[in-house]
Amino acid sequence: METLTGTELARGHLDIAAQRYKKGGHLLCHDDDVQRGKWVRRIAYIIYLVDEQWSEEDGGALGLYTNDSRGQPSEVVARLTPEFNSLGFFLTGLVSFHTVEEITVRDPSRERWSVTGWFYGATTPPLPAEDQSLSPSLLPAFQPFNDDYVECAKWVNPDYLSSKTQDRIQDMFLDQSSVQLRQFLVPDIYAQVIAETDSADTTLLGPPHLRRYLELSPPPQSTLASLLVFLRSSAFARLLAALTSIDTVKATQQLRKFEHGHYTLIHDQVQEPFGLDVSLSLQHTELEWEDTWGGATHYIADKDELLRIAPESNSLSLVLRDEGTLRFVKFLNHMAPVARQEIAMVFDIAPSESEEEEE
């Protein structure tokens, strides 16, 4: 390895393990930058033990990323398809981002077996701090509410506008800190919105060690664009207060689409703002979502799962997420027959009177 790579390696320091990936298995973008005492991982290796018929269409390729000017991963520029009794290796470090792509075999008895590990060497100098910098939040900035007059009855199922229903929902929310409101939009409005998502412009967002999904930009003057304005209005904020008893002061909003291979990840340096999570699911069909497809939103605290919300046509989910509770969207695998679409929002909660007095 030293001769092939020109890298000086430590003697007596070697990691080795067997790896087994089943159908749908994958490993998301990461960099293998791990230190052990004065030594650090310098070379990763993989000995492939797949069957001799394994091909590109079976998945499981090792994908190697190029890096942008900040040292963050951008795109996969090389793929190594597993081949029986072959050895693959690459240098590791702060800019060695890579992935194991999803296993897409048709026969679930076929699995991606390998022996993997790392050679260690002396610590390399870290990149300058500015090259590794990440935005403190990957969501759009909070924006104040739009105070233009908006009629809730134009958009919202009338059942959710009655005080009796609102009181019942508020009791549920206060008890569970979450609630899901099905058939939230007026049916005709929902049908228009879904049709317009197909003509929205898309932008692929990253970096892939944090997230991978499409941001949608609706056509101007469309019903979808107007819906986004309504969801940022004071009128909608008052409706949320009636449903949750929580007063909010501003919100962040993103229209997004998850296709095969898309996800979000939790990262120590990049955290979503805490507050009231408001997500409107925009599924094309009323197909019941299966957990095996991935694509659900998972809420966790101290590694324990608190809540899991699967995409559901025309449903609004409300979740109070405080400090210590994190969320992510699980990798959407190739078995999902449809994409996941939603309007994702976080509402900033107004400070209480006691908090204002302390300030």
Percent of the chain with pLDDT over 90: 81
Considering the entire predicted model, what is its pTM?
0.92
Convert the pLDDT of each residue in 112-134 to its tens digit: 999 999 999 987 655 554 445 55
Query: Within 13 Å, how many C-alpha atoms sit on residue 202's CB side?
Result: 13
Greater confidence (340 vs 95) lies with: 340
Query: Within 13 Å, how many C-alpha atoms sit on residue 351's CB side?
Result: 7
User: What is the model's pLDDT at position 125?
Assistant: 55
pLDDT band at 356 (very low <50, low <70, confident <90, very high): low
Mean pLDDT in residue range 41-57: 97
Q: Residue 136 pLDDT > 60, yes or no?
A: no
Residue 306 CA to residue 325 CA, distance in Å, equals 9
User: What is the model's pLDDT at position 36?
Assistant: 81
Residue-wise DSSP of 104-139: --SSTT--EEEEEEEEEEEPPPPPPGGGG---S-SS
Q: How far is CA 9 from the centre of its chain?
A: 37
Convert the pLDDT of each residue in 183-228 to its tens digit: 999 999 999 999 999 999 999 999 999 999 999 999 999 999 999 9
Q: Residue 325 pLDDT > 90, yes or no?
A: yes
Tell me the backbone φ, ψ of residue 232, rounded to 5 degrees: -105, 15
| Short-list 311, 154, 176, 118, CA closest to 236 | 154
- Lowest mean pLDDT, pick from 110-119, 171-180, 233-242, 348-357: 348-357
Query: Within 13 Å, how many C-alpha atoms sit on residue 239's CB side?
Result: 25
